[in-house]
């Protein structure tokens, strides 16, 4: 007898068979990946991809702008090839290599180009590189060698330029590769090794680093919002500068791209405004919450977004409170990741949050400051050391406040200390008013057969319960019993 297809037949029309048929491809479905052989090969390919992508983001717009500009000229020859080395030097400047010009040596790092390079390395790490130690170090070495080759090809043969290129390439590669490999969709042996290494770090240090990064991230968000507010408030000034320049479409686009490269620098300098020290854009200028002193600046539209002189003082003096709020957020992130903590550990933990966030801020401000050009642009930014100290103190204070307010261990220690103080106070008060203690002291001073004078006995018993006893002992004749019996009667 034919009873229909079996339940285990893939072509069966029963619900169970259909469910198994649909689930079968899901179990074997994998993201397609290339078989690159040894893991170090993926590291080389991923680093080359990151180099080409980040360099193209800077070079291709420069070539396009050069071609568009030359198309409007009557000259037959095209100078677009001259734009390639200039754009490559700007790309190296994003990696920290100084740019030597005829008028000045530019040391201010355009953080927008740096962010593009880190993003390119991150994407290449997630898509191409296998999460192993061999692939990681091969990718780092390939990227550093690539940056060094670009510096040599473009004529950056100065010792400082070469050393800065190596250090900058190393930092960019480690940031992008570490971030990409540790958060990739397919964790490899490198993730397990990193977790085992982190597990060896003391818990207090791990929690402090997390809190510091959280505080720095919140501070970055606040600085970004402040920068957006500055741009909106100075939009009319930016428009006036653009209209005075009378640029064509190609020049306007190229100028806009160049300003996007340094827009993160303005956001980093906004942190100095929030913390209180402020920053300068040109010699003799100061932009801070206390006061604003400006001066003649180059006709750059982005500079029109700087704070106006009327923004100094008043409610702006309360700006450092926002840095304390960032520290509170860092302390909250730290206290939510502690299993058990001794009550006095909140002090070093708050110190770690403050020092870590101050160190991150100091590094970013150091990169965003320096020489931006000749003349007045030779002094741009703020002091990284002074700003880092201010941010560390303010965020550390916020972290300490939230740790003291939320930790149960601190509450228990405070309650125990208060009870101990109260207990000592009560014991001291009872010792002062206890007549038995006075009688024993008098017997010790006068000897066992001597009675205390009536005036001393009356003055040593101010309480109700001891008044009757005092009068009785005063009216009695000289005692013939030892002081122990008097104490018993009392």
Helix (H) or strand (E) holding 360, with range, is helix 346-368
Same domain, 172 and 188: yes
CB atoms inside a 10 Å sphere around CB 201: 11
Instruction: Say whether both 191 and 211 belong to one domain.
Output: no
Contact 303/294 with Cβ under 8 angstroms?
Answer: no
Distance of alpha carbon 420 from alpha carbon 29, whole angstroms = 66
Rounded Cα distance between 99 and 107, Å, is 7
Q: Are 131 and 137 in contact (CB under 8 A)?
A: no
Residue-level pLDDT at 102: 78
Per-residue pLDDT 10s for the chain (490 aa) are 444 444 444 444 444 444 444 444 433 333 334 445 578 899 999 999 999 999 999 998 888 887 776 666 555 455 667 788 989 999 999 999 999 887 788 999 999 999 999 999 999 999 888 888 889 999 999 999 999 999 999 988 888 999 999 999 999 999 999 999 888 777 778 888 888 888 898 888 999 999 999 999 999 999 999 999 999 998 888 888 888 887 777 778 888 888 899 999 999 999 999 999 999 998 888 999 998 988 788 888 888 889 988 888 888 899 999 999 999 999 999 887 666 677 788 899 999 999 999 999 999 999 999 998 887 788 899 999 999 999 999 999 999 999 888 877 777 777 887 888 877 777 766 555 555 544 444 444 444 444 444 444 434 444 444 433 343 334 444 444 444 433 343 3
* Structural domain contains residue 350: yes
CA distances 69 to 84, 199, 220, 254, 372, Å, are 15, 57, 37, 10, 25
Residues 136, 251, single domain; the answer is no
Whether residue 308 contacts residue 316, with contact meaning beta carbons closer than 8 Å, is answered with no
- Is 363 inside a domain boundary? yes
* Tokens representing residue 78 in the block: 């095209």
User: Which tokens is 97 given?
Assistant: 């290599």
Whether 273 maps to a domain, the answer reads yes
Looking at the fold, whether 48 and 178 belong to one and the same domain comes out as: yes
Contacts 24+ apart (CB under 8 A), 68-72: 68/249, 68/250, 69/250, 69/251, 72/248, 72/250
429 is a domain residue: no
pTM assigned to the model: 0.75
**Dist. CA 1–CA 12, nearest whole Å:** 17
Domain boundary among 149, 182, 200: 200
Regarding whether 378 and 292 lie in a shared domain, the answer is yes
Cα gap 173→147, rounded to integer Å:
10
Spatial separation of the C-alpha atoms in residues 31 and 12, rounded to whole Å: 29
172 and 237 co-located in one domain: no
- Answer whether 281's CB lies under 8 Å from 380's CB: yes
- Look at the chain and report how many structural domains it folds into: 2
Q: Are 398 and 325 in contact (CB under 8 A)?
A: yes
Task: Please indicate, yes or no, if residue 478 is contained in any of the structural domains.
Answer: no
Of 387, 409, 431, which residue sits at a domain end? 409
Task: Please give the DSSP secondary-structure letter assigned to residue 344.
Answer: G
Final residue belonging to a domain, choices 200, 234, 257:
200
Say what the pLDDT of residue 77 is: 52
- Containing domain of residue 137, as a range? 39-200
Same domain (yes/no): 324, 381: yes
Sorted by sequence, the CB contacts under 8 Å of residue 120 that are 6+ apart come out as 49, 50, 51, 53, 54, 57, 176
Q: Do residues 86 and 186 share a domain?
A: yes
CA-atom Rg of the chain in angstroms: 37
Question: Cβ atoms within 10 A of the Cβ of 487, count?
Answer: 14
Q: What separation in angstroms does the CA of 367 have from each of 114, 200, 218, 284, 382?
A: 10, 32, 19, 21, 10
Q: Angle, nearest 10°, between helix axes 189-200 and 159-182?
A: 100
For the stretch 148-151, contacts whose Cβ atoms lie closer than 8 Å and that sit 24 or more positions apart, written own/partner, are 150/51, 150/55, 150/88, 150/91, 150/92, 151/92, 151/97
Query: DSSP 3-state assignment of 483?
Result: helix
Does 256 fall in a domain? yes
Q: Measured between alpha carbons, how far is 129 from 424 in angstroms, rounded to an integer?
A: 67
Does residue 189 sit in the same domain as residue 305?
no
Co-location of 294 and 405 in the same domain:
yes
Please indicate, yes or no, whether residues 164 and 227 belong to a single structural domain of this protein: no
- Asked, for residue 29, whether it belongs to a domain, the answer is no
**Residue 446 maps to a domain:** no
E strand or H helix at 99: strand 99-100
293 secondary structure, DSSP code:
E
Tell me, yes or no, whether 104 and 145 share the same domain.
yes
292: enclosing H helix or E strand: strand 292-293
Neighbours of 286 (CB within 10 A): 18
């Amino acid at each position: 007898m034919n009873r229909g297809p079996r339940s285990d037949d893939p072509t069966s029309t029963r619900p169970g068979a259909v469910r198994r048929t649909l689930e079968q491809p899901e179990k074997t479905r994998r993201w397609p990946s290339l078989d690159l052989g040894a893991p170090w090969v993926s590291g080389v390919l991923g680093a080359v991809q990151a180099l080409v992508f980040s360099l193209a983001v800077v070079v291709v717009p420069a070539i396009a702008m050069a071609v568009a500009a030359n198309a409007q000229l009557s000259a037959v020859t095209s100078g677009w090839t001259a734009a390639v080395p200039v754009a490559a030097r700007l790309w190296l400047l994003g990696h920290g290599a100084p740019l030597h010009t005829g008028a000045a040596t530019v040391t201010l790092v355009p953080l927008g180009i740096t962010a593009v390079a880190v993003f390119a390395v991150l994407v290449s790490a997630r898509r191409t590189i296998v999460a192993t130690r061999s692939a990681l170090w091969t990718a780092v070495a390939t990227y550093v060698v690539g940056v060094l080759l670009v510096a040599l090809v473009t004529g950056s043969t100065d010792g400082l330029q070469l050393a800065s290129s190596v250090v900058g390439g190393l930092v960019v590669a480690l940031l992008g590769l570490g971030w990409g490999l540790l958060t990739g969709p397919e964790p490899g042996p490198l993730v397990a090794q990193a977790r085992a290494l982190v597990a060896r770090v003391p818990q207090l240090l791990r929690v402090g680093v997390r809190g510091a990064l959280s505080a720095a991230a919140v501070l970055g968000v606040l600085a970004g919002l402040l920068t957006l507010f500055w741009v909106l408030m100075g939009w009319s000034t930016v428009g006036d500068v653009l209209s005075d320049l009378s640029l064509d479409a190609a020049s306007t686009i190229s100028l806009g791209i160049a300003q996007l490269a340094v827009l993160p620098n303005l956001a980093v300098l906004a942190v100095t405004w929030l913390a209180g020290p402020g920053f300068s854009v040109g010699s003799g200028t100061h932009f801070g919450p206390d006061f604003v002193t400006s001066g003649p600046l180059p006709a750059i539209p982005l500079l029109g977004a700087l704070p106006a002189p009327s923004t100094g003082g008043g409610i702006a003096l309360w700006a450092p409170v926002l840095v304390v709020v960032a520290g509170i957020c860092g302390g909250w992130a730290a206290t939510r990741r502690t299993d058990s903590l001794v009550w006095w550990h909140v002090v070093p933990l708050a110190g770690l949050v403050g020092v870590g966030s101050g160190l991150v801020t100091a590094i970013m401000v150091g990169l965003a400051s320096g020489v931006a050009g000749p003349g007045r642009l030779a002094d741009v930014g703020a002091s990284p050391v002074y700003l880092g100290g201010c941010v560390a103190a303010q965020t550390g204070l916020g972290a300490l406040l939230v740790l003291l307010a939320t930790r149960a261990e601190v509450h228990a220690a405070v309650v125990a200390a208060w009870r101990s103080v109260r207990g000592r106070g009560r014991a001291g008060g009872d010792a002062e008013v206890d007549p038995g203690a006075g009688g024993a002291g008098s017997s010790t001073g006068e000897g066992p057969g001597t009675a205390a004078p009536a005036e001393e006995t009356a003055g040593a018993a101010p309480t109700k319960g001891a008044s009757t006893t005092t009068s009785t002992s005063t009216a009695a004749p000289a005692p013939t019993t030892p002081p122990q019996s008097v104490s018993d009667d009392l």
